[in-house]
A and B are shown apart, each in its own frame.
Chain A
Amino acid sequence: MEALIPVPVVLPLLAVGLKLAIGQRLRRLQALISVGTLTVVLLVSLVLLFAADQQGPLVAHAGGWGAPIGIALVADRLSTLMLAVSSAVTLCVMIYSLAQSWADQEYKASLSIFHPAYLIMVAGVSDAFLSGDLFNLFVGFEMLLGGSYVLLTFGGTESRIRAGATYTVIGLASSLLFLVAIAVAYGATGTVSMAQLAERFSVLPQHVRLLVELTLLLVFVVKAAIFPMSAWLPDSYPTAPAPATALFAGLLTKVGVYSIIRLEALLFPGGPVGDILMWAALLTMLVGVLGAVAQTDIKRMLSFTLVSHIGYMVFGVALFSVQGMAGAIFYVAHHITVQTSLFLVTGMIERRTGTTSLDGLGGLAKLTPVIAVLFFVPAMNLAGIPPMSGFLGKLGLIQAGVADGGPMALTLVAGGLVTSLLTLYAVATTWNKAFWRVPPAGMVTEGGTVLETQEDGDGADPKPAAEAAGEAIVTSVTMPKLMFVSTAALVALALSFTVLAGPLSALSERAAAELLAREPYISAVLGGER
């Protein structure tokens, strides 16, 4: 069983190498490799999830070097649950993007750039989830960030380069800060293995511990886009290609949240930063959702709700109880699927009408009823309409907050309710404008209309590269079936969290209990060396 643990990291990387070797020939084989890899990763992570739930944390020592010297990959309940949900999402998004590029006949860039970057990102996400080593976590982050830099600037259009500049610099700055934190932690304890760090931090002087904790926390807060470090996200995500945005929204910030959970539960249990996290959670929720209310573009509105709902997860972590952690874990699983499916549907709207601006949309419910249903269900799920999983996740967190009973926790409960209402307001406004009202004049409903969203590059500089500067969107009436199928599968996955809410929340509670106990993780990794 331990031999399976490296598969989610190694297999996508091998696939990338294979695909680059094949080049641009054999399109069907290429597609098969991508989908096959992600399917295998999904199956492996499901197997790991069941095994970790049955047997406790599983550990693989890379290269046969035992902990704490070698690199350990640890599959406990939390990491395998995250891994399973994220693999399901990556598979669906890959099928969606394949369907789109096959329908648009854009094989070249898709096969030689999009797929490798995508798979490297998947490997990075898996590595970050499975890593039992602080430096390996950094490497995982770098892998997923490197992939995301390429995906975000895909095509090299002006708007994407603009967004990419901000995004890349933010990513780099936070990564360098991560290295500083690792250096300080290593200098203080002489190890980067998380299990050993967890033991050694407890005997360190308070101020050194706090320094390391706050530096690491700052890094993960930037990655998870928590207020006040969230401004970069709504600026950069909406410009990327729809499948990439969907994947970023679903996974990247959640890796940050996962790291915060790991950091707070394993390395620094019961530290003094709980109050800071509570404030950050409250402000993230409120500032994010107020931003969402003000937007007139669906993608930007969704990016702001993404920021806002990260606040719920941080709230759960900050409570530092089994109930709170379990609520946060459940919410992460729910939010990954819902947010991704919303961005995928928005991609379909853009493909159909050439725009995602609410000023230029209307009457979509009549025009494309299937898209309308696919948007409506996850949108209501996001807002937390009973009995969907969004409601259950918020309910769990609110119960945990009330059980905590502190004034700050109760304030956060109130803030969470307000945020939920405002989210409903934001998505309902979007629904009314884009789907219900009479279509505005000038809305494109015919297929094959070419929309120049940007001006071409400088006329005085007619390089071939500059010709591609204008990002032309071709609207299309026929939507590939697979795009519908993959989006519908994600929507159904989110709905299945409602049906399976009992087992899933029981699983998150077991994961939270295991996390807070710490002992299973530490003894599984260090084993006989203690």
Chain B
Amino acid sequence: MTAPVLPLLVVAVLVAAGVTLLLERSLVRLLAGVILLSNGVNLLILTVGGPPGEPPILGVSDPERMADPLPQAMVLTSIVITLGVTAFLLAMIHRSWQLTGADEVQDDTEDRQVRLRARQGELSQAVLDRQAAYQQLVREQRAELARLEEEHHEWERREAEELEQRILDVNVDLGRWLQEHKNDGLSAERLAERFAEAQQAEDVSKEGRERRLREVRAEFARRQREQAAREREIRKRLRARQRDARRQMRAAIREDRARQARAEDPELEGED
């Protein structure tokens, strides 16, 4: 038995057209899709029932040449059912048009609310995330500052220790030197003179050291000021960005609300 190509082709076209129409949002096109689809399916049932034959009535035709009656019975049943459901669908479309003035499948309002809530959650989460990131940045900067300060104190302490050590050394040297020269029998006058010379040299080097210390202190204060200025700048930027984010969120929520209100307006339903 060869496949009946033409009926099957018609079935394919009807079903394809029906499915395409079923995917539309317009209710009347949906109805047309259902009608085409059901015709296609009914034709398919008839086609698979085998080749045409004589009426299946005993005594009228030869049983060998009878057409298969079962697909015909099934198609009749399915036609009746489709007729009933089509009538119902038509009434429902009319009612929908009465109520909303639109010929479209409406969106589910609950779904929209769930979506809106999810969007709100996302936005506020984004604001929180950004806030947390900036706080983290400020914390890092502070830690850096504290570390620098600590380092500087350490350096100062070491410098002072060194200085004291050297004074101690000089004193020890001086004592030894005095002892030596006393032993040599030097005059007290000469001694005092030498001592003054040594004192002068010491003073000069001390002055130099103090100047350096002052410079370092000034440098440190400058760095601290810069640091503070940078921190102020970061805080200012943070506040500005938070303001921006909040404004964005408000705008987005407003927009969503507007969209929802628009979507609930049956005149505009489904156009977006």
Contact = CB atoms under 8 A, between A and B. Distances in A.
Contacts of A179: 38, 41-42, 44-45, 78
Interface string B17-52: 000001000010010001001100110110011000
Nearest to A169: B30
B64 interface: no
Contact of B96 (A161, A172, A180): A161
Contacts of B105: 162, 165-166, 169
Interface in A81-140: 135, 138-139
A317 B30 CA distance: 35
A173 B22 contact: yes
Interface residues of A, number: 46
B44 to A, nearest CB: 5
Interface string A168-187: 11001101100110111011
A241 interface: no
B98 A146 contact: no
A235 B98 contact: no
A180 to B, nearest CB: 6
Contact of B85 (A158, A168, A296): A168
Given A139-B77, A162-B108, A165-B27, A187 B48 contact: yes
A149 interface: yes
A184 B100 CA distance: 41
Nearest to A142: B81
A168 B89 contact: yes
B114 A294 contact: yes
Contacts of A183: 41, 44-45, 48, 71
A38 B84 CA distance: 25
Nearest to B19: A173
Contacts, number: 107
Interface in A289-325: 294-297, 300
A135 B89 contact: no
Contacts of B81: 139, 142, 146, 175
B70 interface: yes
B193 interface: no
Interface string B87-99: 0110011011011
A146 B45 contact: no
A465 interface: yes
A465 B84 CA distance: 23
Give the one of A142, A156, A159, A172 with max B CB within 10 A: A172
A461 B41 CA distance: 40
B41 A176 contact: yes
A150 interface: yes
A207 interface: no
A488 to B, nearest CB: 30
B53 interface: no
B154 to A, nearest CB: 56
A159 B98 CA distance: 13
Nearest to B68: A190
A250 interface: no
Given A173-B22, A186-B70, A168 B92 contact: yes
6 contacts: A139-B77, A153-B95, A161-B99, A179-B41, A235-B108, A466-B98
Q: Top 4 closest A-B pairs, CB basis?
A: A187-B48, A162-B106, A183-B45, A179-B41
